Amino acid sequence: MTKDTVLNKFKEIFGDSNPEVFTSPGRINLIGEHTDYNGSFVFPGAIDKGMIAAIKLNGTDKIKAHALDLDEKSEFGLNEEDLPKEGWAKYIFGVCREIIKRGGKVEGFDTVFSGDVPLGAGMSSSAALESTYAFALNEMLDLGIDKFELAKIGQATEHNYVGVKCGIMDQFASLFGKKGHLIRLDTKSMEYEYFPFDPEGYKLVLLDTRVTHELASSAYNKRRESCERAAKAISKNHSEVEFLRDASMDMLNEVKSDITEEDYMRAQYVIEETQRVRDVSDALQRHDYETVGQKMYETHHGMSKLYEVSCEELDFLNDLAKKHNVTGSRVMGGGFGGCTINLVKDELYDQFVIDAKAEFKEKYGHEPKVYDVVISDGARKL
């Protein structure tokens, strides 16, 4: 995917060679998974893969959009009843509607977009798409919306037009990304801090199982409800507990007999994951990547056994990483398929990738896809 490809397609469809071009990245999350809707910390970074869109205002109240990778087009208005039928177009429509709801004036435009964020790999292609259009419209129409509000616009698009009750992390990372840095975001206070992430002697590599087990929204929403029930039970004894991030294991144990075993397990995972994020923050300050790696393995175990969002293929890759002395490995993203994220010493990297491909293929009949990722900048005009 290049800027030129998008521009050429735009010219071919709309006969105009002078649109503006914007991009937003996908993201990885080093640690802090399923914590964002629990008021806890997340630790994402923007990556060197994303969405690119060519956009030009067209003087009407209609949007004409072309998804280059799918070779599909959609045309729709800006009123609530104009919701397009194409799944991908709902993201663009939702961003426009959420801006309008906040008092922003949106005009019709022509657009072509393309992406190299792998779909279904847990790198948030949808947030990259939302952030591209939110950032672009804010710039082009001079709306004066701050980046935090742009992230919320993307999040509200998912809630109201796509039906996924996601947290704020993906959109936040896409908009606030900074090269060579991860961002620790406190999703309760919305305070954030950049941490240097330049692991010399290590590489970050994602292994994509190329499997998606039907999750996604129903299982996700069920886990969210589990966490809310556990937090509510704890808050009866501890009024200061609004989210699970405010709770300790001792508090959870007090209500163990009042909640289901499943709700207890989900809550235990979140409380322990919150502590792991704190531990990783300290380790990054010391450039101690061995501790970072150990915490990644602990997260995988928690996601697999307590939160139950892993799957056989992801567990297989995680075991393989251990066998190869990989520093850290865990399922990344919502789970039920997608990728493992691996922190691998340079000298082990080649052999690990060769063996992971071969052994995975032998067991599951296809190779995992391999993505090297570099931590990069957030949304911007090209």
| DSSP state string for 301-365 | HHHHHTS----HHHHHHHHHHHHTT-SEEEEESS-SEEEEEEEEEHHHHHHHHHHHHHHHHHHHS
Long-range Cβ contacts of 367-371 (<8 Å, 24+ apart): 368/207, 368/208, 368/209, 368/210, 368/317, 369/118, 369/121, 369/207, 369/208, 369/210, 370/205, 370/206, 370/207, 370/208, 371/49, 371/118, 371/121, 371/123, 371/205, 371/206, 371/208, 371/339
**CA-CA-CA-CA torsion sign (288, 293, 294, 300):** positive
Other Cβ atoms less than 10 A from the Cβ of 224: the count is 17
Burial (CB count <10 Å: 0-12, 13-18, 19+), residue 289: buried
| Residue 25, H or E segment | strand 20-29
From 110, 170, 246, 263, the catalytic residue: 170
Catalytic residue check, 170 = yes
The DSSP bridge pattern shows strands 63-67 and 109-115 to be parallel
Q: In whole angstroms, what is the distance from residue 263 CA to residue 197 CA?
A: 34
* Catalytic positions: 170
